[in-house]
Structure 1
């Protein structure tokens, strides 16, 4: 299974996703991937050469594509946009199921279904309750589960709901369609179950330091009490379950 890591902080993102995959990693080999057309400026090239495969490997059973730090950029402004489109098309031709996360999910919905993003006037940041629709991909989740969101735009909700090939599995009033699947076993997750308990608050501090005047993350226990003891948040368990369900759904595990 490949993980195309588009985040600037490669090592932290690796740890987050490997934690969500958890014991299931014993069932397959995990190969981290980076783009061949663009080299990250925030990661040591020697580290990338040692641990990452540049571009899509020839042999791949499944792929995870992480989010990316491109909140307000147009897709065509991304230096590796064409390569990412080629990867999405190649996985479709080869029937390789893909788990798209956050920005990558929005990008895939645009490229594959022509659904554009709608920019928010104010960044959506918080831990929101989601209604869970019964499906093999949501098996084991509570009827309402809390997941963190942090983004400046979302795929046009009307067009998502009107697209007959898409099935909305998780939905939040404050953040719209959050977990979506299509007819090719691909999954699109707009939330951040990989986040630590204080990640939203740290993003709030970062945006404040940049002079962006953000709102405090909504319904986030740590943002409300920054001095509270750090612990594993419930959403990491939900994220692990979502991934395990997807691995089983695509036949990667039994």
Structure 2
């Protein structure tokens, strides 16, 4: 089944060139199967890039998905055209009256700030609380994972001396979980962050389970509420060239950023990246949709509790 996307969303043409089957709203009206309703709160500065990255992964499912984008009322993006935001994004106040099968909350460029100092922290907390009663399963990514763990479970974040930057091997700790169906014992995950959460803090809360981690990059996936919440500290959604763009953007401008590890061929930026995480990224998102969104959501979406 294809994804059901807003008409004229830039990601549609980009993904069609990759032979990914997507469907705009005009064509979708002829389909009688209820699509799963997925809402994405996109906090990343480059909205169109993140939209495309996430849609690419969500497309790898036989289920029909209806994708909607949420924006904050209390924040105006600086790196995305106003016209794009007006055409494809809706305020939380508009979308909050609906129930949703799944939700994704992305990272945000406010990682080194205390949560309470983030200008839109109040609205973020309201959205997080709302998701617990209006969404079947929510996927929190990078900063959003740290923010969700802090808001719901009082898990602090800690600054790193050097940016955790590169592709790091992760170990599945609860291999029998459906989220890891088809996974190998070790899988790769991109990381790009200046802060971390620590296993010892998480282990003290019986409501949380660390389900994947790395000896080098630390905790990578935490599960709560039987899969109604996943907190992913890395970026499985990243495109092959994303870390390269970040590295070239920051080199010479920051003293806490080194060349991304385990990323370039022969550790030479001139050789380009080696993609080692794409297969498991597709599996992770497909498993989330199939086992934690589709199989857990009621057919009557209004009955989500």
Is TM > 0.5 for Structure 1 vs Structure 2? Answer: yes
What pairs up with 1:211-250 in 2 under 5 angstroms? 211-212=254-255, 214-222=257-265, 224-228=267-271, 233-250=275-292
Superposed, which structure 2 residues align to 1:73-92 within 5 Å? 73-92=113-132
* Residue 250 to residue 211, structure 1, CA distance change in 2 (3 Å): closer
**Structure 1 spans left out of the alignment, 5+ residues:** none
Q: Does 1:172 align with 2:214?
A: yes
Displacement of 1:253 in angstroms is 5.8
Q: TM-score, normalised by structure 2?
A: 0.77
> Which of 1 and 2 has greater Rg?
2
1:124 maps to 2:167: no
Q: Is contact 2:60–2:282 with CA below 8 Å preserved after alignment?
A: no
State the SS of the aligned residue for 1:124.
Answer: strand
Query: Counterparts of 1:223 and 1:7 in 2: how far apart (Å)?
Result: 30
Which of the numbers 221, 244, 261 marks the counterpart of 1:201?
244
- Cα distance in 1 for partners of 2:266, 2:116 equals 34
How far apart in 1 are the matches of 2:257 and 2:135? 41
Is the CA contact (8 Å cut-off) linking 1:127 and 1:217 kept in structure 2?
Answer: yes
CA shift for structure 1 position 251: 3.7
Deviation at 1:124, TM superposition (A): 1.0
Task: Give the Å deviation of 1:176.
Answer: 1.1
Give ranges in structure 2 of 5+ residues lacking alignment. Answer: 1-37, 297-305
C-alpha deviation, 1:229, in angstroms = 5.6
CA separation of 1:129 and 1:230: change in aligned 2, threshold 3 A: closer
Give SS of 1:30's match: strand
1:213 deviation in Å? 5.1
Q: 1:108 aligns with which of 148, 170, 183?
A: 148
Q: CA deviation at 1:93?
A: 2.9
Post-superposition Cα deviations, 1:151-186, rounded to whole Å, max 9, x if no partner, equal 100113211122211111111011111011102521
Shift >6 Å, 4+ stretches: none
Equivalent residue in structure 2 for 1:94, among 134, 148, 173: 134
Deviation at 1:26, TM superposition (A): 5.2
Cα separation, 2, equivalents of 1:83 and 1:223: 44
Q: TM-score, normalised by structure 1?
A: 0.92
Distance 1:101 1:95 in 2: 16
CA contact (8 A) 2:47 2:80 kept: yes
1:182 paired residue number: 224
Cα pair distance change 1:192/1:223, threshold 3 Å: farther
